[in-house]
Structure 1
Amino acid sequence: MSKGYDNPSYEGNGKLDTYEKEDKGANGIQNGGDKQFVNEDDGKREKFSFRQLWLFTGPGWLMSIAYLDPGNIESDLQSGVVAGHRLLWVTFWASFLGFLMQRLSARLGTVTGKHLAEICYESFPKVPNVLLWIMVEIAVIGSDIQEVIGTAIALFLLSKEKIPLWAGCVITLVDTFTFLFLDRYGRRKLEFFFAFLIMVMAISFGINYGADLPPQGEIAIGTIVPGCTGCNKDWFLQAVAAVGAIIMPHNLYLHSALVTKNDVDRSKKSTIRLANFYTSVEAGISIGVSFLINLIVVSVFGHVLHDKTYGEINARCNAKNWYPEMFNCTIDSNTCVATDNVDADLYKGGIALGCTYGAAFTFIWAIGILASGQSSTMTGTYAGQFAMQGFLNLNWAPWKILVITRLVAMAPTLFVAGFTNIQTLTGLNDILNTVMSIQLPFAIIPCLCFTSSRVHMGDFRNGPIQKIIICLLSIIVLAINMIFVFQYVSETVPNKWYFLVPIVIYFVSYFIFVGYLAIYLFICLGFEQLTKFQFLRRIYKLEPFLEQTLDIP
């Protein structure tokens, strides 16, 4: 089996090969700018090119939308309500960890010309491969439901409750086909459109931020200084939830697929090296922007709702005559106590902004949520398309995959929207964040496997220090997510045997599968002595490691 960088170039939008007919350096990278890189093929230096970075711009911004989906925005909101600005450092480091994982995912696609799902199909036997596909599709559908809920709530607020929640769900289903139609006119146009939606989010949430500037010193300290002074159980659970909400499992599959559309000459190591650099820079910029938007949301609600009681917010609503019943604890349908600290979700948070700054700020908030839901809708569609195509080796038309994933996601959402209330619908986000946390190992472990493998990445595999750092950080992230899952299950599942037995059976099977993937990870990390065991040769595809034999004692 040939190493990744020997694979033929992948047809796409045109990136590195765009300059085949223009002035370029010896490695196929356009010269320009003022920062230089060493071309190891001939010892020459290549300058940093903003024009080349522009040509690589697109996949990272589409990927970063997952960091701004309605589930993340609600997690930011709740982080601000629960802990003020003191958990901003969690959002920062979670975003940084997300960048490290996205960088690995992008490197895999750039070096091999194949995306993560395709390599899973080639590298795992049929049963583990199908199980991985199911887990990824569950993550895609869970994310899809969050996006539908976010869009429905935004339309509910913008129409002053004239568009019912179920109708908002149907509208979301229809407009996804509109975006797919836009994609037929070129991926670049779709990338520009989503960049516009990110700008709408930044402006919308930024207006709320500027309405009454939060204490800038507290925000800076909360972002830079890790700590938990005076924290309680709610703070800890919110910090764990924030990590789980930001790092999305299907996003690793998505990013690895999007970068394969870059046209790279994989016969030259220097070209691949610079391609890896530009994709990393683009991913870093896009995730940095998404972090700033997340920071704004946390800061706004940390300033408006942290340590505020239902009685205080109700007084604001009465003064503005804006949804005076929302935080009124004397109404039987509101299960709250006036002296308790307020809690919030996407809907109540928007109302609280209107009660604090004026009705217009509820609508401004809703516009931002609408942009969040609409933009993340299409990235979820792409992730589902790439997963199905890669894991099952299918080449269905995108609209067929869209119909299947959308209908599966829409059925439970429509049921809840049609037969329950807004509180139940918004409460689904907690369940869905738990679902995302459960699926995370099935993206992180395969990504670590293949980016550390000499068989798949050749000279571009993770180095020893990088392997140690990434593996340790991944263990921390997975442990944090499991804490969140078990805490949520223990608090919500009734203590009855007929509930507990299926859950125990599921998690035993779950950890057996995670262990199966972990053994393969050890082989990819360099413990190739394991390939000597006949039992492992029967349950894994180890032929590539045996064909490219190292001196195994």
Structure 2
Amino acid sequence: MTESDETTTLCPASSSHSYQSLEASAWDVEIDIKDQVDTGEVDSDNRFSWSKLLKYMGPGWLMAIAYLDPGNLESDLQTGAIAGYQLLWLLFWCHAAGLAIQTLAIRLGVVTGKHLAQHIRQAYDGRTAKVIWFFSQCAIIGSDIQEIVGTAIALRIFFNLPIWAGVLITATDTFFFMWLQQFGVRKIEAFFMSLIGIMVACFFTEMISSGPDIGAIVEGMWLPRIPTNATVQAVGMIGCLLMPHDLYLHSALVGSRFLGPSPSAAKKKEANFYFTLESALALLTSYCINLAIVVVFAQVYYQAPLPTWMTSDGPARLPGLYDAAEVLERTLGPMARYLWAAGLLAAGQSSTMTGTLAGQYVMEGFFGKFFKKQWHRMACTRAVALIPSMLVALYAADRFDTMGELLNVVQSLCLPMAIIPLLKLTSSETVMTPDEKNGGWMNTICWMLSVVVIGFNGSAFMEFLQAWDYHWLLLCLSVLYFGFVGYILYLPLGPSRVLDTKPSSHSHQQ
């Protein structure tokens, strides 16, 4: 495997496409990560190669971290606590749906050499793009709040620190990430994969200690059913797995692999195959980790004898991230508390750093490279999420579970602003070329999946409105919101915006 020695451009300037509203060169985004990985020549015999897979291995694991953030962990433990094993099948199909959508992000980045934020900025008029950016930034902020506060909760479990102190400590990971970037993209990927390994070790140890029912696990994975008292958890599971910022991130990270100065159709096909396979392996690992948490709380909470935190009518209150440590300590012993904290800390730190990286792509993809230095960019994008997190820590720490539900609603509302442009761009013959755009079946399946996910998220939003008694301001905002979703849904990406269909290329700076 060959790697360059200098800082490389992850989203190359020499894209295949220019748009009417802007010159492409004005919006090139350079992310200062060293050592773009050379994937070599296309195998003439088209046989599967483990060495080739290793060259492409990395971006999918960073993408999968979004499926393991503290918000998802809380959803898992509450699902196990209230529904036992009965929603394991839904958890699997949520990951499968996520893989289908993430595949589109892969193909957009590989085929065009540009990531999703750059395409949106060039494919839509300035006002529409700014509104989409606003929703995208809100999604990143909402996700980062959960990740930062989740990390702070892990530090509280370990050291009994107040939440606000843990948030301040978590802010220092920005400087660690800046330092880590200087060692190259492969070192970054290895670091994040090691954090996923910590989660596997911690959560699987707890699952084995809980004495799971293997037959019930298999039944829960294959028998589709939703208990009447777990409808909220089912909707939340669907809504919190597919994150808007993950689509931006994944479409950009594939640029860390050098496909050649002017990659052929065969080379792009190879890249799409190995990136998709790698993402499938990463999401399978993510599914197993999420499954382990559901199983643990199905054992220690749902199927446990009537403990002090339950009543004869069911759980008096579902546990949150901090309460989970107490539940595990009472049922599995003192060590379980710290295993939970270690896994939560790994989840929070990894998702916080990938959220910071996604924030950089989104900011500069929409507005261009206006930061002169790397630390300026990271400090700005980090502060955007850190300040709201501090406010949550100071004023809503005791009600973080309720705040988490609100943040999930916010992120679900932002999802259409990323997924609709992605589907339209990858379905465009002008953007992707006729041979590389979405096929008929792929397009139909992804649109159906998107409609289902957006529909469930809309349902969660309507329940949120009902809790507020249909306040007139929220009603007005909801009309504007759904009006804008309809606008970008039917706004064509026609010849008036897309001009050039030259073959794409990927840069490789020496």
Structures share fold, TM-score greater than 0.5: yes
Q: How far apart, in 1, do the equivalents of 2:39 and 2:446 lie? A: 33
- Structure-2 change in CA distance of 1:18 and 1:441 (3 Å): closer
Q: Contact 2:164 / 2:390 at 8 angstroms: preserved in 1?
A: yes
2:224 is equivalent to residue 226 of structure 1 = yes
Cα 1:66–1:408 change in 2 (3 A) is same
Q: 2:382 aligns with which of 389, 406, 410?
A: 406
Q: Which has the larger radius of gyration?
A: 1
Partner of 1:37: none
Unaligned runs of 5+ in 2: 1-13, 19-23, 502-510
Q: 1:394 to 1:179 in 2, by over 3 A?
A: same
Q: Are 1:483 and 2:459 an aligned pair?
A: yes
Are positions 1:313 and 2:307 aligned together? yes
**SS of 2:307 mapped into structure 1:** helix
2:264 is the alignment partner of 1:259: no
Counterpart CA distance in 2 for 1:485 and 1:477 is 12
CA distance in 2 between partners of 1:391 and 1:426 (Å): 32
- The structure, 1 or 2, with the larger RCO (C-alpha pairs under 8 Å, 6+ apart) is 2
Where do 1:234-249 residues align within 5 Å? 234-249=229-244
Task: Report whether the alignment pairs 1:415 with 2:413.
Answer: no
Among residues 490, 494, 509, which one is paired with 1:519 in the alignment? 490
| CA pair 501-308 structure 1, distance change in 2 beyond 3 A | farther
Match of 2:477 in 1: 506
Q: CA deviation at 1:220?
A: 1.0
Distance 1:501 1:406 in 2: 34
Residue of structure 1 equivalent to 2:325: 350
Tell me the residue number matched to 1:279. Answer: 275
In the TM superposition, what is the alpha-carbon distance from 1:118 to its structure 2 partner?
0.5
For 1:238, the aligned partner's letter is: Q
Shift of 1:421: 4.5
Q: Distance in 2 between matches of 1:288 and 1:294?
A: 10
- Cα deviation for residue 197 of structure 1 reads 0.4
**Which range moves more in the overlay, 171-180 or 137-146?**
171-180
Please show how residues 206-217 of structure 1 align to structure 2 within 5 Å: 206-217=204-215
Contact 1:155 1:370 in 2 (8 A): yes
Q: Which residue of 2 aligns with 1:250?
A: 245
> CA–CA distance in 2 between the matches of 1:443 and 1:186?
29
Question: Percent same amino acid among aligned pairs?
Answer: 38
The corresponding residue for 2:90 is 90
Alpha-carbon distance in structure 2 between the residues aligned to 1:411 and 1:383: 17
The 5 Å alignment of 1:71-90 reads 71-90=71-90
| Counterpart Cα distance in 1 of 2:16 and 2:336 | 55
Q: In the TM superposition, what whole-angstrom CA distance separates every residue of 1:40-77 from its partner, at most 9, and x where no partner exists?
A: xxxx5322111111011111111110000000110111
Q: Secondary structure at the match of 2:46?
A: strand
- C-alpha separation in 1, matches of 2:396 and 2:240: 25
Tell me, in whole angstroms, the C-alpha distance in 1 between the residues paired with 2:450 and 2:380.
Answer: 32
Name which of structure 1's ranges 451-460 and 511-520 shifts more when overlaid on structure 2: 511-520
Asked if structure 1 preserves the Cα contact closer than 8 Å seen for 2:210 and 2:300, the reply is no
Q: Is the 8 A contact 2:63 2:246 kept in 1?
A: yes
8 Å CA contact retained: 1:141, 1:405: no
Q: Deviations over 1:431-464 (max 9, x none)?
A: 1111111001011101101111111111210012
- Which whole-Å CA distance do the structure 1 matches of 2:46 and 2:264 have between them? 14
Structure 2 residue 286 is the aligned partner of structure 1 residue 290: yes
Please say if 1:302 is aligned against 2:302: no
Give the superposition deviation at 1:363: 0.9
Residue 427 of structure 1: CA displacement? 2.8
SS of 2:225's equivalent in the other structure is coil
Alignment CA distance shift 1:2-1:58 (3 Å): closer
Q: Which residue of 1 aligns with 2:447?
A: 471
Q: CA deviation at 1:171?
A: 0.4
Q: Contact 2:83/2:230 (CA < 8 Å) preserved in 1?
A: yes
Instruction: Confirm whether residue 109 of structure 1 aligns to residue 109 of structure 2.
Output: yes
Deviations 1:504-540 (A, max 9, x none): 22111111211121113xx46xxx7xx7xxxxx6xxx
Q: Secondary structure at the match of 1:408?
A: helix
Indicate the residue corresponding to 1:437 in structure 2.
412
Q: SS at the partner of 1:428?
A: helix
- Cα offset, 1:110, TM superposition: 0.6
2:315 partner SS: coil
Q: What is the CA–CA distance in structure 2 between the aligned matches of 1:4 and 1:284, rounded to whole Å?
A: 29
Aligned to 1:323: none
On the 8 A contact 2:320/2:401 being kept in 1, the answer is yes
Q: CA separation in 1, counterparts of 2:311 and 2:285?
A: 38
Contact kept, 8 Å, 2:15 with 2:113, in 1: the verdict is no
Q: Distance in 2 between matches of 1:511 and 1:273?
A: 37
Deviation at 1:176, TM superposition (A): 2.4
Distance 1:542 1:18, change over 3 A: closer
1:165 matched residue in structure 2? 163
Cα 1:2–1:73 change in 2 (3 A) is closer
Instruction: Tell me, in whole angstroms, the C-alpha distance in 2 between the residues paired with 1:395 and 1:55.
Output: 32
Q: CA deviation at 1:217?
A: 0.9
Deviation for aligned residue 1:100: 0.5
Instruction: State how 1:26-105 maps to structure 2 within 5 Å.
Output: 28-29=41-42, 31=43, 45-105=45-105
Shift of 1:225: 2.1
What residue identity is the alignment partner of 2:67?
Y
Q: Distance in 2 between matches of 1:398 and 1:487?
A: 42
Q: The residue matched to 1:48 in structure 2 has which SS?
A: coil
> How many Å separate the matches in 2 of 1:250 and 1:172?
20
Once residues 211 and 193 of structure 1 are traced to their aligned partners in structure 2, the CA distance between those partners, rounded to angstroms, is: 27
Deviation at 1:414, TM superposition (A): 2.1
**The residue matched to 1:47 in structure 2 has which SS?**
coil
The structural deviation recorded for 1:406 is 2.7
Shift of 1:179: 1.8
- Stretches of structure 1 lacking an aligned partner (at least 5 in a row): 20-27, 32-43, 315-326, 328-335, 532-536, 546-553
Q: How many pairs align?
A: 473
Supply the RMSD in Å over aligned alpha carbons. 2.4
Q: 1:96-128 CA distances to partner (integer Å, 9 max, x unpaired)?
A: 010011111011001111000011111111001
CA distance in 2, matches of 1:52, 1:4: 28
> Offset of 1:409 from its aligned partner?
2.3
Match of 1:182 among 180, 183, 188: 180
Q: Structure 1 residues 252, 419: closer, same or farther in 2, change over 3 A?
A: closer
Tell me the distance in 1 between the aligned counterparts of 2:469 and 2:304: 31
Report the equivalent of 2:129: 129
Determine the structure 2 residue equivalent to 1:324: none
Q: Distance in 1 between matches of 2:134 and 2:167?
A: 24
- Which residue identity lines up with residue 190 of structure 1 in the other structure? I
The amino acid of 1:264's aligned partner reads L
Query: What is the SS of the residue equivalent to 2:224?
Result: coil
Deviations 1:275-307 (A, max 9, x none): 110110111111110011001011111111116
Contact 1:152 1:167 in 2 (8 A): yes
- Which residue does 2:427 correspond to in 1? 452
